[in-house]
Homo-oligomer: A and B are copies of this chain.
Amino acid sequence: MLLRSALQRLNLAATHLPTTCLRTFASKHREIPALTRDRYPVQRGAFAELTDDDVAVFRSILGGNDTARVLTAADEVQDYNIDYLRSVRGFGRVVVKPRTTAEVADLMRYCNERRLAVCPQGGNTGLVGGSVPVFDEVVFSLQLMDTIERIDEYAGIVVCQAGCVLANLEEQVGAKGLVMPLDLGAKGSCHIGGNVSTNAGGLRLVRYGNLHGSVLGVEAVTADGRVLDLMSNFKKDNTGYHLKHLFIGSEGTLGIITRLSMFCPTASRSVNVAFLGLRSYDHVKQTFLAAKRGLGEVLSSCEMIDAPSLDSCTRFFGLQSPIEKYPFYMLIETSGSDAGHDEEKLTRFLEQTMEQGLVQDGTVTNEPTKVKNIWKLRELIADSLLADGYCFKYDISLPLDQFYDIVLAVRERVGDMAINVTGYGHIGDSNLHLNVSCARFTPEIYASLEPFVYEYTSKLRGSVSAEHGIGFLKRKYLHYSKQSEPLRLMRQMKQLLDPNGILNPYKVLPPEHPTDSATAH
């Protein structure tokens, strides 16, 4: 209850604070989680143990007296060992903070020679336990690599180091009339290098596509300390194999991204948000198609929220829905270069969908504060469900024809073991967030959910991790979306690029020994 009232106060006092503040606040006030090695049946790899001599070498590489760049004090390294959701905790004894690619390369070369395992870390906002050590890996924090090298307003390009915080980039490119092609709840602390390493999705994907399209080039340091220059400032560059994609979404297991260049679209002057009430999922699907056709090029977000999701959010955060109760809601955003045109398109779209009986009720706004408040109804759902006690979270891609069926199927299966079974997410990208909240974790509800959810998704050839990645926690589910041949090729890539397996071990690839899994004891 303390957490709840504190969050409510914060929420009331800080209408204009980004929601990331709330998220960070919520996360900081939970207990220190159990060590991952105690909670999950995972075995340490045959890596070397850190010695004082190693620490001395790190210090010498990072310039001797600068103690703030080699952390070893227990209280200083703790934050780097615990993930944002506080679901996993490693016990890395040292955190190094390089400033340059050359420093990353020197550190990496040394660790490879010494067989010291390494955990690269950006803003540590990942949700699958990928960004913190599992055992005692050396944490490479890219925090200090936050230089924006160049913004080209003509071509629409930003070139920067990997440790730049997304919100800072957004501000800097915004000043040149550009926009970052991705937007996340965690933008106040996540790093662009982490975004690229995890192929982060987010709220603008329906408009600007994924990072494989937007990233123009990367520079990466491989496990043996080589610098791989795959930088390019061009959208068109067909000179040989497109190797940069190996590092986009491989979650730091094939190399550490140190610099990158990204295409930035032209910023939109006008933003409108509509919040709609609908009677059925089928109406949601039809309305999405109508939005694609009617709003066309100005459609920038298309989100679906079911009634239990919105109820949870409004209740917990004391927020007000702008419309009456309906089984489903949609949040539709337009961004465009002409406010009048966008409004006209949106109004016509709403008139038509209401006339057709697809949309029952709706509200539209372009006032920044109201826009923000409507977005809160969507962005705070995840946190509100956590407050029920324990929440099973699934981030899946499913065909639109069967998009919501899984929520109904799960609701029936778990019955009154759950407090809430809800579905919401980016219908514009076929990405559903299925959440099952309960008072506490029990083996019964767990057994009822898994592998059911993964098998269900797999049968529809869906993705068992749409945007969050695999990290440590989802390794054993990878085979539900990837067959044995692709898995074999992934292992070959890992072997080729990191023969000693020191780069972010225990992540992404399924455990070699079936006992090493991410099922909690």
Contact = CB atoms under 8 A, between A and B. Distances in A.
Contact of A292 (B254, B266, B463, B509): B266
Contact of A243 (B234, B335, B489): B489
Given A155-B430, A268-B296, A297-B297, A238 B470 contact: yes
Given A227-B485, A238-B466, A250-B242, A209 B213 contact: yes
A198 B74 CA distance: 52
Interface in A441-492: 461-470, 478, 481-483, 485-487, 489-490, 492
B341 A338 contact: yes
Contacts of A298: 297, 337
A238 B468 contact: yes
A242 B486 CA distance: 10
Given A241-B249, A243-B486, A496-B496, A235 B399 contact: no
Nearest to A349: B337
B237 A248 contact: no
Number of identical monomers bound together in the oligomeric complex: 2
Contact of A234 (B177, B199, B241, B397): B397
B337 A240 contact: no
B240 A482 contact: yes
Contacts of A201: 236, 238
Nearest to A266: B292
Contact of A239 (B399, B401, B481): B481
A53 to B, nearest CB: 30
A354 B301 CA distance: 35
Which of A238, A266, A293, A430 has the largest number of chain B CB atoms within 10 A? A238
B236 A467 contact: yes
Contact of A155 (B336, B400, B469): B400
Contacts of A295: 337
Nearest to A254: B241
A268 B483 CA distance: 38
Contact of A240 (B239, B430, B466, B470): B470
B486 A228 contact: yes
Contact of A238 (B199, B239, B293): B199
B400 A465 contact: no
Interface string A226-267: 111111111111111111011011100010000000010010
Contacts of A335: 297
A309 to B, nearest CB: 19
Interface string A286-303: 001100111111100000
Nearest to A297: B297
Contact of A490 (B231, B240, B470): B240
A89 interface: no
B463 A238 contact: yes
A461 B293 CA distance: 40
Nearest to A244: B245
20 contacts: A155-B430, A205-B236, A210-B235, A229-B486, A234-B397, A236-B430, A236-B467, A237-B481, A238-B465, A240-B478, A240-B481, A241-B249, A242-B248, A242-B250, A243-B490, A266-B292, A266-B293, A295-B337, A296-B337, A493-B496
Interface of A: 152-156, 177, 198-199, 201, 205, 209-210, 212-214, 226-243, 245-246, 248-250, 254, 263, 266, 268, 285, 288-289, 292-298, 335-338, 341, 344-345, 397, 399-401, 426, 429-431, 461-470, 478, 481-483, 485-487, 489-490, 492-493, 496, 508-509
